[in-house]
Amino acid sequence: MTQTTDKKLLPFLAALCLFLAAVEYAIPKPLPFLRLGLANLPVIVALFVLPTRDIYKLILLKIIGQALVTGTLFSYIFLFSAAGSAASGLTMLGVHLWLKNRVSCIGLSLAGAAANNIAQLVVAYFVLFRSATRYIAPILLISGAVTGLVLGIFTQMFIEKSKWFRGLHA
Amino acid sequence: MKFSFKPADFLFLALSVILIAMSLIALSGNSEGTPMAVIRVKDTEYIYPLNQPRELEFMGELEKAHLVIHDGCIEFVDSPCRDKICIHMGQARKDGDFLACLPNRIIVTIVGGHSDTDN
C-alpha cells in the first residue's frame, strides 16, 4: 500500500467512527452502558489495512470523536468510554498481531467487546458502584458478547463482500 | 450471506462464555453466606459478620455509641445523640438494611446474605 492511501484512509476511518457514534447515539438504550459498539467497526477494518502506529491514532481519534458526538467529553462518562475504547482497541490490535490470519473479525470483535466491558467494569468499580459492580457485570458481559458477536459477523461479511475493501488490498 | 469462522474465533467465543459464567458465579457466590454489617464511623469503615454475637463501641462525632450484634442482627443500644432515632430504627439483619445516627456520624449497612426483596 502506498503512502498516499494511508494518509487518506486514517481520516476516512476516523470520520466513519464519528458517523457511527452519531448513529449509535440516535438509538435509544435501556441502560447507558448497553451499547451496540458500532464505532468499533472502522477499528476492526483498520486492523487489516492500516499500519500499527496509525491504529493507535485511530483509537485516540475514536475516543475523542465519540465524546464530542455524545457530548460526554469532560464528564465522568468519558472515563468509561475512553477506558473501554482504549482497552478494546489495544486488545484487538494485540490479538490481530498475535494470531494474524487465524482469527477473523468475529474473534477480534468478541475479544474487543470483552476487553471493553472488563475495562468499564473496572472503572465502574472505582468510580461508581464499588461492590455493587457485580450486579451489573453479567448484564454488561452478556449484552457485550452478543453485540460483539453480531458486529463481528457483520464486519466479516463486509470485508468479504466489499469491493472497496478489496481495492485497498490490491 | 456467507461468512467464515476461523479457528481462533471459537477461542474468543469460549472466553466470552467463561467470562459471563464467572460474573454469574460471582453474583450468586456473594449473595449467599453470612450477611455483614458495614459500619461507617466518620470516615472509617468497619466490617463485622452478623452470625457472631458481639458488643461494639465506636467513638463518633459526639461521644461513644454502643451497638450490639446478636441473633443475626445488629442494633444501636445506646447513643449520645439527642433524638435517639438510631436506637428507634431497631434491628438491621438483611441485605440492604441500614441504621444511621447522623449527629454522631455512624452509618450501618448490611451487605450480602439472602435478600428478601427480588431485584
Over the stretch B13-58, which tens digit does the pLDDT of each residue have?
888 899 888 888 877 765 556 788 999 998 888 989 888 899 999 9
**Sign of the dihedral defined by the CA atoms of residues A125, A126, A128, A129, in that order:** positive
Q: Report residue B114 as a C-alpha cell.
A: 439472602
Q: How does strand B54-59 pair with strand B64-70?
A: antiparallel
Cβ–Cβ contact B47 with A under 8 A: no
Residue A51: which H helix or E strand, with range?
none
Given pLDDT bands bounded at 50, 70 and 90, which one contains residue B68? Answer: very high
CA torsion A147→A150→A153→A159, rounded to 10°? -70
Residue A170 lies in a domain: no
The tens digit of pLDDT for each residue in A14-24 reads 888 889 888 88
Closest Cβ–Cβ partner in A106, A114, A157 for B19: A114
Largest pairwise CA distance in chain B: 74
Task: For the full predicted model, state whether its pTM sits above 0.80.
Answer: no
**A·B CB contacts under 8 A:** 82
Give B28's contacts (C-beta < 8 A, 6+ positions apart). Answer: none
Model confidence at B6: pLDDT above 90 = no
Highest mean pLDDT among A98-112, A123-137, B78-92: B78-92
Q: In what order do the strands lie in the sheet with B91-92?
A: B54-59, B64-70, B73-78, B91-92
Given pLDDT bands bounded at 50, 70 and 90, which one contains residue B78? Answer: very high
Annotation: CATH topology of B36-111: mini-chromosome maintenance (MCM) complex, domain 2 (2.60.320)
Model confidence at A97: pLDDT above 70 = yes
Residue A117 lies in a domain: yes
pLDDT of residue B116: 44
CA angle at residue A100 from A105 to A89, to 5 degrees?
A: 55
Mean pLDDT across chain B: 84
Model confidence at A166: pLDDT above 90 = no
Give B18's contacts (C-beta < 8 A, 6+ positions apart). Answer: none
Q: Where are the domains of chain B?
A: 36-111
Q: Is residue A32 within 8 Å of residue A129, measured between CB atoms? A: no
- What CATH number has the domain bearing residue A90? 1.10.1760.20
pLDDT of residue B32: 55
- For residues B56 and B76, what is the distance between their CA atoms, to the nearest angstrom? 9
- Inter-helix orientation angle A133-161/A40-49, to 10°: 50
Model confidence at B88: pLDDT above 90 = yes
pLDDT of residue B117: 42
The number of folded domains in chain A is: 1
Nearest residue to A107 (alpha-carbon basis) of A44, A17, A13: A44
Closest Cβ–Cβ partner in A103, A135, A144 for B6: A103
Cβ–Cβ contact A130 with B under 8 A: no
Model confidence at A131: pLDDT above 70 = no
pLDDT of residue B114: 60
| B19: chain A residues, CB-CB within 8 Å | 114, 118, 141, 145
Model confidence at A4: pLDDT above 60 = no
Residue A13, judged by CB atoms within 10 A of its CB (0-12, 13-18, 19+), counts as buried
Residue-number span of the structural domain to which A90 is assigned: 3-165
Residue of B nearest to A108 (CA): B9
